[in-house]
């Protein structure tokens, strides 16, 4: 697909998710998608595969955030097989604390599927509001 | 300029930055150049005008590091007036700490000049390693 088609696909995904249809996004993830949360903070890691990404990252976020969380796209920049989306979160934790992070999301697409994601955001805010990402069975730092 | 020309210019600028040379970057900033850092730490916010960017952002950063900063780009994504650059820093602070942030820079250009950049990076790392821009490490 062309850069323009990839951009249109990402625009339509963000529009459908904003309208409450999260499956539009999940359906477009390739089975072997990888998502890297960039940086060196507790959430920084690579989620490998759609099942792991949905369960370990989105599943965990679902336990923290109130229903109806939104990511509002501000700009789409497409070049070849990459689409960059600058976005603003519009979320609240279940405890009622605002969580409006700033994101730069970089998607690599192939044949109409998202195969790679890299996320840049305000990591200090993530840890301040959502806490550290849980490390299973880890006794000490 | 076309997106291909904008991308080529940013590639030349980052070839310099990989060798601790920011001359072309500074040369290509428009007078009304604006630098926006995401987040709410002491480096966050909008620096308006080339002079303010150099004085209030880049000079304090230089003051934190043992030598000129090195930033190595690994991807360029360009469309119209925008060039997105993913990069990694390779720096050591005067306090002896590694400062290797990961950056996503969203540049807006026109007529061969950079008008704006929005920097996305690991703000928690900035807090931990760089601290306060106004606090200068002791000489020596």
What distance in Å separates the CA atoms of residue B117 and residue B126, rounded to the nearest whole number? 18
Whether residue B140 is predicted with pLDDT greater than 50 in this model: the reply is: no
Q: Label residue B137 exposed, middle or buried (CB < 10 Å: 0-12, 13-18, 19+).
A: middle
Check B125 against A41: CB less than 8 A apart. Answer: yes
Residues A17/A69, Cβ–Cβ less than 8 Å: no
Select from A20, A23, A25, A1 the least CA-distant residue to A85.
Answer: A25
Best residue in B41, B102, B126 for a mutation probing chain A (most A CBs within 10 Å): B102
Shortest Cα–Cα distance, A80 to chain B (Å): 8
Q: Quick check: B86 and B78 in contact, CB under 8 A?
A: no
Domain B3-130 is in which class?
A: alpha beta
Dihedral sign, CA of B13, B63, B57, A36? Answer: positive
ipTM computed for the complex:
0.94
Would you state the pLDDT for residue A135? 85
Has residue A141 got a pLDDT over 70?
no
**What per-residue confidence (pLDDT) applies to A140?**
52
Note whether A106 contacts B104, CB cutoff 8 Å: yes
Mean pLDDT of the region B10-32? 98
Among A127-141, B101-115, B122-136, where is mean pLDDT lowest? A127-141
CB contact under 8 A, A125 and B106: no
A123 to chain B: which residues are within 8 Å by CB?
122-125
Q: Which domains does chain A have, with CATH numbers?
A: 3-130 (3.10.450.50)
CA–CA dist B13, B22 (Å, integer): 7
- pTM comes to 0.95
Q: Which residues of A touch B79 (CB under 8 A)?
A: 3, 77-79
pLDDT band of residue A1 (cuts 50, 70, 90) is confident
Q: Is A36 exposed, middle or buried (0-12, 13-18, 19+ CB in 10 A)?
A: middle
The pLDDT confidence band at residue A18, using thresholds 50, 70 and 90, is confident
Contacts of A141 (CB under 8 A, 6+ apart): none
pLDDT of res. A105 = 98
Lowest mean pLDDT among A10-14, A20-24, B128-132: A20-24
**C-alpha dihedral sign at B94, B100, B103, B105:** positive
Show which of residues 4-23 on chain A sit within 8 Å of chain B, judged by CB atoms: none
Task: Quick: pLDDT tens for B68-97.
Answer: 999 999 999 999 999 999 999 999 999 999
| Cα separation, B134 vs A15, whole angstroms | 42
- For B41-74, how does the pLDDT look when each residue is reduced to its tens digit (9 = 90+)? 999 999 999 999 999 999 999 999 999 999 999 9
* Structure confidence by residue, pLDDT tens digits, A87-134: 999 999 999 999 999 999 999 999 999 999 999 999 999 999 999 999
| Greater pLDDT, A56 or A18 | A56
DSSP B22: -
| A44/B3 Cβ within 8 A | no
């Amino acid at each position: 697909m062309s850069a323009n088609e990839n951009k249109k696909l990402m625009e339509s995904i963000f529009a459908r998710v904003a309208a409450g249809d999260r499956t539009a996004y999940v359906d477009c993830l390739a089975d072997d998608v990888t998502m890297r949360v960039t940086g060196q903070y507790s959430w920084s890691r690579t989620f490998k595969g759609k099942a792991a990404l949905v369960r370990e990252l989105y599943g965990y976020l679902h336990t923290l955030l109130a229903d109806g969380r939104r990511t509002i796209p501000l700009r789409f920049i497409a070049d070849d097989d990459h689409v960059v989306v600058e976005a603003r979160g519009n979320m609240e934790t279940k405890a009622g604390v605002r969580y409006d992070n700033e994101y730069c999301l970089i998607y690599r697409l192939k044949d109409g599927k998202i195969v790679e994601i890299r996320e840049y955001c305000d990591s200090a805010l993530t840890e301040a509001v959502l806490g550290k990402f849980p490390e299973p069975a880890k006794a000490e730092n | 300029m076309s997106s291909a020309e904008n991308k080529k210019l940013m590639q030349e600028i980052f070839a310099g930055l990989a060798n601790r040379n920011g001359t072309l970057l500074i040369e290509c900033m428009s007078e009304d150049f604006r630098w926006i850092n995401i987040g709410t730490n002491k480096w966050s916010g909008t620096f308006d005008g080339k002079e303010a960017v150099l004085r209030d952002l880049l000079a304090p950063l230089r003051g934190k590091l043992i030598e000129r900063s090195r930033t190595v780009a690994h991807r360029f994504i360009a469309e119209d007036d925008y060039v997105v650059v993913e990069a990694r820093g390779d720096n050591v602070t005067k306090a002896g700490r590694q400062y290797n942030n990961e950056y996503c820079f969203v540049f807006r250009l026109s007529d061969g000049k950079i008008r704006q950049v929005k920097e996305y990076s690991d703000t928690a790392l900035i807090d931990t390693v760089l601290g306060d821009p106004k606090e200068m490490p002791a000489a020596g």
